[in-house]
Structure 1
Amino acid sequence: MSVVHLLVINPNSSKSITDGLQESLDPCTPPNTRLSYFTAPSHAPAAISDVITANQTATVCYEALVQTKAIDEYDGFLVCCFSDHPLIHMLREHISSIQSTKPAIGMFEAGVSHALLVGRRFGVVSTGTGMKHTLIAGVRAFMGANSERFAGVTTSGLGVVELREGDRFRIEKLMKSTSVKTAEKGADVLILGCAGMAGMEGLVKQGVREAGLGEVKVIDGAKAGVELLTGIARLSRS
Protein backbone atom coordinates (compact mmCIF):
# COMPACT_ATOMS: atom_id res chain seq x y z
CA MET A 1 0.00 0.00 0.00
CA SER A 2 1.43 3.37 -1.00
CA VAL A 3 2.06 6.08 1.58
CA VAL A 4 -0.50 8.86 2.02
CA HIS A 5 1.18 12.22 2.68
CA LEU A 6 -1.01 14.66 4.62
CA LEU A 7 -0.44 18.30 5.52
CA VAL A 8 -1.56 19.32 9.01
CA ILE A 9 -2.21 23.06 8.92
CA ASN A 10 -2.05 25.34 11.94
CA PRO A 11 -3.67 28.48 10.49
CA ASN A 12 -2.29 30.80 13.19
CA SER A 13 1.33 31.90 13.47
CA SER A 14 2.05 30.40 16.91
CA LYS A 15 4.69 27.70 16.52
CA SER A 16 3.88 26.36 20.00
CA ILE A 17 0.46 25.28 18.72
CA THR A 18 2.05 23.41 15.81
CA ASP A 19 4.56 21.79 18.18
CA GLY A 20 1.71 20.62 20.41
CA LEU A 21 -0.13 19.15 17.44
CA GLN A 22 2.96 17.30 16.25
CA GLU A 23 3.68 15.95 19.73
CA SER A 24 0.12 14.64 19.94
CA LEU A 25 -0.35 13.36 16.38
CA ASP A 26 2.98 11.78 15.45
CA PRO A 27 2.72 8.84 17.92
CA CYS A 28 -0.71 7.83 16.59
CA THR A 29 -0.17 8.34 12.87
CA PRO A 30 -1.95 5.59 10.90
CA PRO A 31 0.17 3.00 9.06
CA ASN A 32 1.45 4.03 5.64
CA THR A 33 0.65 7.66 6.42
CA ARG A 34 3.12 10.52 6.63
CA LEU A 35 2.34 13.82 8.33
CA SER A 36 3.93 17.16 7.57
CA TYR A 37 3.12 20.38 9.41
CA PHE A 38 2.48 23.95 8.31
CA THR A 39 2.37 27.04 10.51
CA ALA A 40 0.90 30.29 9.20
CA PRO A 41 3.47 32.92 8.19
CA SER A 42 4.61 35.26 10.95
CA HIS A 43 2.46 38.18 9.77
CA ALA A 44 -0.72 36.15 10.39
CA PRO A 45 -2.53 36.54 13.75
CA ALA A 46 -0.99 34.53 16.59
CA ALA A 47 -4.41 33.20 17.59
CA ILE A 48 -7.88 32.84 16.09
CA SER A 49 -10.37 34.34 18.51
CA ASP A 50 -13.13 35.74 16.30
CA VAL A 51 -14.43 35.92 12.73
CA ILE A 52 -11.96 38.67 11.81
CA THR A 53 -8.86 36.68 12.77
CA ALA A 54 -10.33 33.58 11.14
CA ASN A 55 -10.62 35.40 7.82
CA GLN A 56 -7.21 37.03 8.17
CA THR A 57 -5.48 33.71 8.81
CA ALA A 58 -7.34 32.04 5.96
CA THR A 59 -6.15 34.61 3.43
CA VAL A 60 -2.52 34.52 4.59
CA CYS A 61 -2.37 30.71 4.68
CA TYR A 62 -4.09 30.26 1.33
CA GLU A 63 -1.65 32.59 -0.40
CA ALA A 64 1.34 30.83 1.17
CA LEU A 65 0.07 27.35 0.30
CA VAL A 66 -0.63 28.26 -3.32
CA GLN A 67 2.68 30.10 -3.77
CA THR A 68 4.67 27.13 -2.43
CA LYS A 69 2.66 24.69 -4.61
CA ALA A 70 1.70 22.68 -1.51
CA ILE A 71 -1.53 21.62 -3.22
CA ASP A 72 0.55 19.55 -5.65
CA GLU A 73 2.79 18.02 -2.99
CA TYR A 74 0.30 16.52 -0.52
CA ASP A 75 -2.56 14.02 -0.74
CA GLY A 76 -4.86 15.72 1.77
CA PHE A 77 -5.15 18.76 4.03
CA LEU A 78 -6.29 19.05 7.66
CA VAL A 79 -7.06 22.56 8.94
CA CYS A 80 -6.50 22.57 12.70
CA CYS A 81 -8.76 25.30 13.97
CA PHE A 82 -11.89 24.18 15.78
CA SER A 83 -14.34 26.15 13.65
CA ASP A 84 -15.80 26.16 10.17
CA HIS A 85 -12.59 27.90 9.13
CA PRO A 86 -12.68 29.73 5.77
CA LEU A 87 -9.40 28.12 4.69
CA ILE A 88 -11.15 24.74 4.35
CA HIS A 89 -13.52 26.14 1.74
CA MET A 90 -10.78 28.10 -0.03
CA LEU A 91 -8.69 24.95 -0.38
CA ARG A 92 -11.67 22.93 -1.63
CA GLU A 93 -12.47 25.58 -4.22
CA HIS A 94 -8.86 25.72 -5.42
CA ILE A 95 -8.55 21.93 -5.55
CA SER A 96 -11.77 21.69 -7.54
CA SER A 97 -10.58 24.39 -9.96
CA ILE A 98 -7.57 22.26 -10.91
CA GLN A 99 -9.76 19.16 -11.40
CA SER A 100 -8.30 17.36 -8.40
CA THR A 101 -10.13 15.16 -5.89
CA LYS A 102 -7.73 15.69 -2.99
CA PRO A 103 -9.64 16.17 0.29
CA ALA A 104 -9.45 19.18 2.58
CA ILE A 105 -11.23 18.91 5.93
CA GLY A 106 -11.21 20.62 9.31
CA MET A 107 -10.72 19.25 12.81
CA PHE A 108 -14.12 20.76 13.66
CA GLU A 109 -15.92 18.57 11.10
CA ALA A 110 -13.92 15.50 12.11
CA GLY A 111 -14.53 16.02 15.82
CA VAL A 112 -18.30 16.42 15.48
CA SER A 113 -18.52 13.44 13.11
CA HIS A 114 -16.62 11.25 15.57
CA ALA A 115 -18.75 12.42 18.50
CA LEU A 116 -22.01 11.59 16.73
CA LEU A 117 -20.82 8.03 16.15
CA VAL A 118 -19.65 7.17 19.67
CA GLY A 119 -22.06 8.83 22.10
CA ARG A 120 -25.58 9.99 22.82
CA ARG A 121 -24.88 13.69 23.43
CA PHE A 122 -21.77 15.79 22.90
CA GLY A 123 -20.52 19.14 24.10
CA VAL A 124 -17.56 21.32 23.18
CA VAL A 125 -14.93 22.47 25.69
CA SER A 126 -13.77 25.78 24.23
CA THR A 127 -11.48 28.74 24.94
CA GLY A 128 -12.80 32.31 25.18
CA THR A 129 -16.21 33.68 24.28
CA GLY A 130 -15.21 35.29 20.97
CA MET A 131 -16.04 32.24 18.86
CA LYS A 132 -18.80 30.71 21.00
CA HIS A 133 -21.81 31.75 18.94
CA THR A 134 -19.97 31.07 15.68
CA LEU A 135 -19.20 27.55 16.94
CA ILE A 136 -22.81 26.94 17.94
CA ALA A 137 -24.00 28.10 14.51
CA GLY A 138 -21.33 25.96 12.85
CA VAL A 139 -22.42 22.80 14.65
CA ARG A 140 -26.05 23.41 13.77
CA ALA A 141 -25.16 24.03 10.13
CA PHE A 142 -23.00 20.90 9.97
CA MET A 143 -25.76 18.75 11.49
CA GLY A 144 -28.40 20.38 9.30
CA ALA A 145 -30.67 21.36 12.20
CA ASN A 146 -30.91 21.97 15.93
CA SER A 147 -30.49 18.72 17.83
CA GLU A 148 -30.85 17.47 21.38
CA ARG A 149 -27.64 15.55 20.76
CA PHE A 150 -25.69 18.82 20.97
CA ALA A 151 -25.15 20.02 24.55
CA GLY A 152 -23.62 23.32 23.50
CA VAL A 153 -20.28 25.09 23.88
CA THR A 154 -18.74 25.77 27.30
CA THR A 155 -15.97 28.37 27.42
CA SER A 156 -12.98 28.19 29.74
CA GLY A 157 -11.69 31.75 29.40
CA LEU A 158 -8.29 30.42 28.37
CA GLY A 159 -6.49 31.90 25.39
CA VAL A 160 -5.37 29.80 22.44
CA VAL A 161 -1.64 30.42 22.94
CA GLU A 162 -2.07 30.36 26.72
CA LEU A 163 -3.03 26.69 26.46
CA ARG A 164 0.52 25.87 25.32
CA GLU A 165 2.55 28.60 26.99
CA GLY A 166 0.59 29.69 30.07
CA ASP A 167 0.60 28.76 33.76
CA ARG A 168 -0.02 25.01 34.01
CA PHE A 169 -1.93 25.22 37.30
CA ARG A 170 -4.40 27.73 35.85
CA ILE A 171 -4.78 25.72 32.65
CA GLU A 172 -5.45 22.46 34.48
CA LYS A 173 -7.90 24.10 36.88
CA LEU A 174 -9.94 25.78 34.13
CA MET A 175 -9.85 22.80 31.78
CA LYS A 176 -11.17 20.55 34.54
CA SER A 177 -13.91 22.94 35.68
CA THR A 178 -15.04 23.63 32.11
CA SER A 179 -15.17 19.91 31.38
CA VAL A 180 -17.31 19.33 34.46
CA LYS A 181 -19.75 22.05 33.35
CA THR A 182 -20.00 20.41 29.93
CA ALA A 183 -20.66 16.96 31.41
CA GLU A 184 -23.28 18.45 33.74
CA LYS A 185 -25.24 19.46 30.63
CA GLY A 186 -25.69 15.77 29.89
CA ALA A 187 -22.81 15.30 27.47
CA ASP A 188 -21.25 11.84 27.50
CA VAL A 189 -18.79 12.89 24.78
CA LEU A 190 -16.60 15.98 25.17
CA ILE A 191 -14.78 17.49 22.20
CA LEU A 192 -11.58 19.46 22.73
CA GLY A 193 -12.56 22.71 21.05
CA CYS A 194 -9.13 24.12 20.22
CA ALA A 195 -5.95 22.87 18.55
CA GLY A 196 -4.08 24.18 21.61
CA MET A 197 -5.80 21.49 23.71
CA ALA A 198 -4.00 18.69 21.86
CA GLY A 199 -3.04 15.93 24.28
CA MET A 200 -5.37 17.05 27.09
CA GLU A 201 -7.80 14.12 26.90
CA GLY A 202 -6.55 12.65 30.17
CA LEU A 203 -6.90 15.95 32.01
CA VAL A 204 -10.51 16.35 30.87
CA LYS A 205 -11.43 12.80 31.88
CA GLN A 206 -9.76 13.29 35.25
CA GLY A 207 -11.72 16.47 35.95
CA VAL A 208 -15.06 14.84 35.21
CA ARG A 209 -14.14 11.74 37.20
CA GLU A 210 -13.06 13.80 40.23
CA ALA A 211 -16.42 15.57 40.16
CA GLY A 212 -18.16 12.21 40.53
CA LEU A 213 -19.79 12.33 37.11
CA GLY A 214 -18.41 9.02 35.89
CA GLU A 215 -16.64 8.31 32.64
CA VAL A 216 -16.88 10.35 29.45
CA LYS A 217 -15.37 9.95 26.03
CA VAL A 218 -13.04 12.77 24.98
CA ILE A 219 -12.34 13.54 21.34
CA ASP A 220 -9.39 15.42 19.91
CA GLY A 221 -10.60 16.72 16.55
CA ALA A 222 -7.07 16.76 15.16
CA LYS A 223 -6.58 13.05 15.88
CA ALA A 224 -10.02 12.28 14.49
CA GLY A 225 -9.15 14.41 11.47
CA VAL A 226 -5.95 12.51 10.69
CA GLU A 227 -7.78 9.17 10.82
CA LEU A 228 -10.69 10.40 8.71
CA LEU A 229 -8.53 12.26 6.21
CA THR A 230 -6.27 9.23 5.71
CA GLY A 231 -9.25 7.11 4.68
CA ILE A 232 -10.75 9.77 2.43
CA ALA A 233 -7.39 10.40 0.75
CA ARG A 234 -6.94 6.69 0.02
CA LEU A 235 -10.44 6.41 -1.41
CA SER A 236 -9.88 9.54 -3.51
CA ARG A 237 -7.03 7.75 -5.26
CA SER A 238 -9.19 4.81 -6.34
Structure 2
Amino acid sequence: MNRKKILVINPNSSKSMTDSLDQMIYSLNHDEQLPFAAEIHTYTAPSGPLSINNESDARASARVVISDLETELLQYDAFLVACYSVHPLVGMLRQRLAPHQHVIGIFEASISTALALLRLDLEYSSKSPQMFGILSTGTYWEEALTLGVGAYLGEQNPDRFSSDRFKGVETTGLSATELHTAPPEEVKRKLMEATKRLVKWRNVKVICLGCAGMVGLDSIVEEALVEELGAQEAGKVYILDGVKAGLGLLEGLLRALPGKAT
Protein backbone atom coordinates (compact mmCIF):
# COMPACT_ATOMS: atom_id res chain seq x y z
CA MET A 1 0.00 0.00 0.00
CA ASN A 2 1.25 3.46 -0.85
CA ARG A 3 2.06 5.86 1.97
CA LYS A 4 -0.58 8.45 2.77
CA LYS A 5 0.27 11.97 1.65
CA ILE A 6 -0.21 15.20 3.61
CA LEU A 7 0.11 18.60 1.94
CA VAL A 8 1.13 21.48 4.21
CA ILE A 9 -0.17 24.64 2.58
CA ASN A 10 1.53 27.96 3.16
CA PRO A 11 -1.26 30.23 1.83
CA ASN A 12 0.95 33.30 1.59
CA SER A 13 3.53 33.74 -1.17
CA SER A 14 6.59 33.93 1.09
CA LYS A 15 8.94 31.11 0.08
CA SER A 16 11.18 31.82 3.08
CA MET A 17 8.32 30.86 5.40
CA THR A 18 7.86 27.59 3.55
CA ASP A 19 11.61 26.98 3.83
CA SER A 20 11.25 27.23 7.63
CA LEU A 21 8.41 24.71 7.51
CA ASP A 22 10.53 22.39 5.38
CA GLN A 23 13.35 22.50 7.93
CA MET A 24 10.98 21.62 10.77
CA ILE A 25 9.35 18.81 8.79
CA TYR A 26 12.78 17.41 7.89
CA SER A 27 13.72 17.25 11.57
CA LEU A 28 10.41 15.56 12.42
CA ASN A 29 10.84 12.99 9.67
CA HIS A 30 14.32 12.15 10.95
CA ASP A 31 13.21 11.64 14.54
CA GLU A 32 14.11 7.99 15.13
CA GLN A 33 11.61 7.62 17.98
CA LEU A 34 8.57 9.29 16.37
CA PRO A 35 8.90 9.38 12.58
CA PHE A 36 5.80 10.29 10.59
CA ALA A 37 4.10 7.46 8.75
CA ALA A 38 2.68 9.82 6.13
CA GLU A 39 4.65 11.44 3.33
CA ILE A 40 4.63 15.19 3.94
CA HIS A 41 4.84 17.78 1.16
CA THR A 42 4.77 21.58 1.31
CA TYR A 43 3.21 24.17 -0.96
CA THR A 44 3.59 27.94 -1.32
CA ALA A 45 0.90 30.17 -2.83
CA PRO A 46 2.13 31.25 -6.31
CA SER A 47 0.95 34.83 -5.78
CA GLY A 48 -1.01 36.97 -3.36
CA PRO A 49 -0.05 38.43 0.04
CA LEU A 50 3.49 37.86 1.30
CA SER A 51 2.11 37.99 4.84
CA ILE A 52 -1.48 37.43 5.98
CA ASN A 53 -2.13 40.33 8.31
CA ASN A 54 -5.94 40.52 8.30
CA GLU A 55 -9.11 38.85 7.03
CA SER A 56 -8.85 40.57 3.65
CA ASP A 57 -5.41 39.03 3.12
CA ALA A 58 -6.77 35.64 4.18
CA ARG A 59 -9.63 35.78 1.67
CA ALA A 60 -7.30 36.88 -1.12
CA SER A 61 -4.84 34.08 -0.38
CA ALA A 62 -7.63 31.50 -0.22
CA ARG A 63 -8.85 32.44 -3.70
CA VAL A 64 -5.34 32.11 -5.13
CA VAL A 65 -4.64 28.73 -3.54
CA ILE A 66 -7.98 27.06 -4.25
CA SER A 67 -7.72 28.02 -7.91
CA ASP A 68 -4.13 26.82 -8.18
CA LEU A 69 -4.70 23.50 -6.39
CA GLU A 70 -8.06 22.60 -7.91
CA THR A 71 -6.70 19.89 -10.20
CA GLU A 72 -4.25 18.45 -7.63
CA LEU A 73 -6.56 17.78 -4.68
CA LEU A 74 -6.95 14.06 -5.43
CA GLN A 75 -3.19 13.53 -5.05
CA TYR A 76 -3.32 14.02 -1.26
CA ASP A 77 -5.04 12.31 1.64
CA ALA A 78 -4.92 15.26 4.04
CA PHE A 79 -4.24 18.99 4.05
CA LEU A 80 -2.88 21.35 6.70
CA VAL A 81 -3.53 25.07 6.20
CA ALA A 82 -0.49 26.72 7.81
CA CYS A 83 -1.94 30.11 8.66
CA TYR A 84 -2.88 30.92 12.23
CA SER A 85 -6.32 32.38 11.60
CA VAL A 86 -9.87 31.30 10.91
CA HIS A 87 -8.73 30.86 7.34
CA PRO A 88 -11.47 30.48 4.69
CA LEU A 89 -9.33 28.00 2.77
CA VAL A 90 -10.16 25.31 5.34
CA GLY A 91 -13.86 25.51 4.52
CA MET A 92 -13.23 25.81 0.78
CA LEU A 93 -11.19 22.62 0.80
CA ARG A 94 -13.74 20.71 2.86
CA GLN A 95 -16.41 21.51 0.28
CA ARG A 96 -14.27 19.96 -2.46
CA LEU A 97 -12.74 16.94 -0.70
CA ALA A 98 -14.01 13.39 -0.42
CA PRO A 99 -15.09 12.13 3.03
CA HIS A 100 -11.87 10.14 3.48
CA GLN A 101 -9.72 13.24 2.85
CA HIS A 102 -9.04 15.40 5.89
CA VAL A 103 -8.24 19.09 6.33
CA ILE A 104 -7.49 21.23 9.35
CA GLY A 105 -5.98 24.64 9.99
CA ILE A 106 -3.15 25.18 12.46
CA PHE A 107 -5.43 27.49 14.47
CA GLU A 108 -8.04 24.78 15.06
CA ALA A 109 -5.36 22.14 15.60
CA SER A 110 -3.58 24.12 18.31
CA ILE A 111 -6.80 24.89 20.21
CA SER A 112 -7.89 21.24 20.16
CA THR A 113 -4.47 20.11 21.36
CA ALA A 114 -4.22 22.83 24.01
CA LEU A 115 -7.57 21.83 25.51
CA ALA A 116 -6.40 18.20 25.63
CA LEU A 117 -3.34 19.27 27.63
CA LEU A 118 -5.26 21.17 30.32
CA ARG A 119 -6.25 19.43 33.52
CA LEU A 120 -9.88 18.28 33.59
CA ASP A 121 -10.69 17.79 37.26
CA LEU A 122 -13.92 19.64 37.95
CA GLU A 123 -13.45 19.90 41.70
CA TYR A 124 -9.82 21.02 41.56
CA SER A 125 -9.81 23.06 38.34
CA SER A 126 -12.64 25.31 39.55
CA LYS A 127 -10.35 26.48 42.36
CA SER A 128 -7.19 26.75 40.27
CA PRO A 129 -8.07 26.74 36.55
CA GLN A 130 -5.44 25.97 33.97
CA MET A 131 -5.57 28.10 30.84
CA PHE A 132 -4.10 28.33 27.36
CA GLY A 133 -3.05 31.53 25.64
CA ILE A 134 -1.88 32.59 22.20
CA LEU A 135 1.25 34.47 21.13
CA SER A 136 0.78 36.14 17.77
CA THR A 137 2.16 38.84 15.48
CA GLY A 138 0.35 42.13 14.72
CA THR A 139 -2.13 43.74 17.10
CA TYR A 140 -4.96 43.06 14.63
CA TRP A 141 -4.89 39.44 15.74
CA GLU A 142 -5.69 40.19 19.39
CA GLU A 143 -9.37 40.67 18.61
CA ALA A 144 -9.54 38.43 15.54
CA LEU A 145 -8.09 35.37 17.27
CA THR A 146 -10.14 35.96 20.41
CA LEU A 147 -13.29 35.96 18.27
CA GLY A 148 -12.04 32.82 16.53
CA VAL A 149 -11.48 30.99 19.80
CA GLY A 150 -14.96 31.97 21.00
CA ALA A 151 -16.52 30.69 17.79
CA TYR A 152 -14.51 27.46 17.92
CA LEU A 153 -15.61 26.84 21.51
CA GLY A 154 -19.22 27.26 20.44
CA GLU A 155 -19.92 30.55 22.20
CA GLN A 156 -23.22 32.14 21.17
CA ASN A 157 -21.68 35.62 21.37
CA PRO A 158 -17.96 35.09 20.64
CA ASP A 159 -17.30 38.83 20.71
CA ARG A 160 -18.31 39.00 24.38
CA PHE A 161 -17.28 35.64 25.76
CA SER A 162 -15.07 34.82 28.71
CA SER A 163 -13.64 31.41 29.49
CA ASP A 164 -11.80 29.85 32.38
CA ARG A 165 -9.81 27.92 29.76
CA PHE A 166 -8.66 30.75 27.49
CA LYS A 167 -6.31 33.42 28.84
CA GLY A 168 -6.20 35.61 25.74
CA VAL A 169 -3.89 36.79 22.95
CA GLU A 170 -0.63 38.70 23.28
CA THR A 171 1.10 40.07 20.19
CA THR A 172 4.59 41.18 19.20
CA GLY A 173 3.55 43.95 16.81
CA LEU A 174 5.62 42.31 14.06
CA SER A 175 4.23 40.78 10.88
CA ALA A 176 4.83 37.14 10.00
CA THR A 177 7.57 38.04 7.53
CA GLU A 178 9.22 40.44 10.00
CA LEU A 179 9.74 37.55 12.40
CA HIS A 180 12.49 36.43 10.02
CA THR A 181 13.55 39.72 8.42
CA ALA A 182 13.60 42.20 11.33
CA PRO A 183 16.80 42.48 13.42
CA PRO A 184 17.05 39.32 15.56
CA GLU A 185 17.47 41.31 18.77
CA GLU A 186 14.21 43.16 18.08
CA VAL A 187 12.34 39.94 17.36
CA LYS A 188 13.68 38.38 20.54
CA ARG A 189 12.83 41.38 22.70
CA LYS A 190 9.28 41.72 21.45
CA LEU A 191 8.57 37.99 21.62
CA MET A 192 9.93 37.76 25.16
CA GLU A 193 7.88 40.77 26.27
CA ALA A 194 4.68 39.28 24.84
CA THR A 195 5.41 35.92 26.49
CA LYS A 196 5.93 37.52 29.88
CA ARG A 197 2.68 39.47 29.61
CA LEU A 198 0.81 36.28 28.79
CA VAL A 199 2.07 34.24 31.76
CA LYS A 200 2.50 36.88 34.46
CA TRP A 201 -0.50 35.63 36.48
CA ARG A 202 0.98 32.11 36.48
CA ASN A 203 -2.17 30.31 35.33
CA VAL A 204 -1.21 29.67 31.69
CA LYS A 205 -0.17 26.06 31.13
CA VAL A 206 -0.18 25.99 27.31
CA ILE A 207 1.19 28.69 25.00
CA CYS A 208 0.07 28.40 21.39
CA LEU A 209 2.50 29.90 18.90
CA GLY A 210 0.00 31.89 16.86
CA CYS A 211 1.83 32.14 13.55
CA ALA A 212 3.39 29.63 11.17
CA GLY A 213 6.31 32.06 10.97
CA MET A 214 7.13 31.33 14.61
CA VAL A 215 8.56 27.95 13.65
CA GLY A 216 11.97 27.69 15.31
CA LEU A 217 11.37 30.56 17.77
CA ASP A 218 10.20 28.40 20.68
CA SER A 219 13.62 28.67 22.34
CA ILE A 220 13.01 32.42 22.79
CA VAL A 221 9.67 31.69 24.43
CA GLU A 222 11.35 29.17 26.73
CA GLU A 223 13.94 31.77 27.76
CA ALA A 224 11.21 34.29 28.57
CA LEU A 225 9.35 31.70 30.65
CA VAL A 226 12.44 30.98 32.73
CA GLU A 227 13.03 34.68 33.35
CA GLU A 228 9.41 35.31 34.33
CA LEU A 229 8.52 32.10 36.20
CA GLY A 230 11.79 30.48 37.18
CA ALA A 231 13.16 27.26 35.74
CA GLN A 232 10.94 24.90 37.74
CA GLU A 233 7.61 26.54 36.87
CA ALA A 234 8.69 27.26 33.30
CA GLY A 235 9.21 23.54 32.80
CA LYS A 236 5.51 22.94 33.47
CA VAL A 237 4.34 25.17 30.61
CA TYR A 238 3.78 23.57 27.20
CA ILE A 239 4.87 25.52 24.11
CA LEU A 240 2.63 24.35 21.29
CA ASP A 241 3.52 24.76 17.64
CA GLY A 242 0.37 24.70 15.50
CA VAL A 243 2.08 23.06 12.53
CA LYS A 244 3.33 20.16 14.65
CA ALA A 245 -0.08 19.87 16.33
CA GLY A 246 -1.82 19.87 12.97
CA LEU A 247 0.43 17.21 11.49
CA GLY A 248 -0.10 15.05 14.57
CA LEU A 249 -3.88 15.36 14.36
CA LEU A 250 -3.91 14.57 10.65
CA GLU A 251 -1.75 11.50 11.19
CA GLY A 252 -4.24 10.37 13.83
CA LEU A 253 -7.20 10.96 11.52
CA LEU A 254 -5.53 9.05 8.70
CA ARG A 255 -5.05 6.11 11.07
CA ALA A 256 -8.48 6.26 12.74
CA LEU A 257 -10.48 7.14 9.60
CA PRO A 258 -8.32 5.91 6.75
CA GLY A 259 -11.03 5.56 4.12
CA LYS A 260 -10.30 3.58 0.98
CA ALA A 261 -6.79 2.43 0.14
CA THR A 262 -5.05 4.47 -2.52
> What TM-score bracket applies, with the shorter chain setting the length?
over 0.9
For 2:134, the equivalent position in structure 1 comes to 124
For 2:255, the equivalent position in structure 1 comes to 234
Matched, 1:171 2:187: yes
Matched, 1:113 2:112: yes
Any conservation in 2 of the 1:102–1:236 contact (CA below 8 Å)? no
What is the CA deviation profile of residues 78-127 of structure 1, one whole-angstrom value per residue up to 9, with x for unaligned ones? 000011100000000111xxx44200100001111111111320000010
Cα distance in 2 for residues equivalent to 1:198 and 1:90: 25
Give the CA deviation at 1:131. Answer: 2.5
Pick aligned residue for 1:150 from 140, 161, 166: 166
Any conservation in 2 of the 1:26–1:35 contact (CA below 8 Å)? no
Q: Residue type of the partner of 1:124?
A: I
For 1:39, the equivalent position in structure 2 comes to 44
Q: Residue type of the partner of 2:36?
A: P
Any conservation in 1 of the 2:13–2:51 contact (CA below 8 Å)? yes
Q: Residue type of the partner of 2:133?
A: G
For 2:199, the equivalent position in structure 1 comes to 183
Matched, 1:23 2:44: no
For 2:211, the equivalent position in structure 1 comes to 194
Cα distance in 1 for residues equivalent to 2:12 and 2:172: 20
Give the CA deviation at 1:3. Answer: 1.8
Pick aligned residue for 1:221 from 242, 247, 261: 242
Cα distance in 1 for residues equivalent to 2:68 and 2:255: 26
State the TM-score, normalizing by the size of structure 1.
0.93
Cα distance in 1 for residues equivalent to 2:36 and 2:188: 33
For 2:122, the equivalent position in structure 1 comes to none
Give the CA deviation at 1:232. Answer: 0.8
- 1:77-96 map, 5 Å: 77-95=79-97
Structure 2: segments with no counterpart, 5+ residues: 30-34, 119-129, 156-161
DSSP-derived class of the 1:208 partner: helix
Give the CA deviation at 1:201. Answer: 1.7
Cα distance in 2 for residues equivalent to 1:203 and 1:4: 34
DSSP-derived class of the 2:140 partner: coil
Cα distance in 2 for residues equivalent to 1:152 and 1:10: 25
Q: Residue type of the partner of 1:38?
A: Y
DSSP-derived class of the 1:237 partner: coil
DSSP-derived class of the 2:79 partner: strand
Pick aligned residue for 2:53 from 42, 49, 54: 49
Give the CA deviation at 1:2. Answer: 4.9
Cα distance in 2 for residues equivalent to 1:132 and 1:65: 31
Any conservation in 2 of the 1:21–1:198 contact (CA below 8 Å)? yes
Any conservation in 2 of the 1:4–1:230 contact (CA below 8 Å)? no
Matched, 1:162 2:178: yes
Cα distance in 2 for residues equivalent to 1:71 and 1:234: 20
Cα distance in 2 for residues equivalent to 1:26 and 1:236: 25
Structure 1: segments with no counterpart, 5+ residues: none
Any conservation in 2 of the 1:20–1:164 contact (CA below 8 Å)? no
What is the CA deviation profile of residues 14-37 of structure 1, one whole-angstrom value per residue up to 9, with x for unaligned ones? 011111111122211443221100
Any conservation in 2 of the 1:126–1:154 contact (CA below 8 Å)? yes
Q: Residue type of the partner of 1:55?
A: R
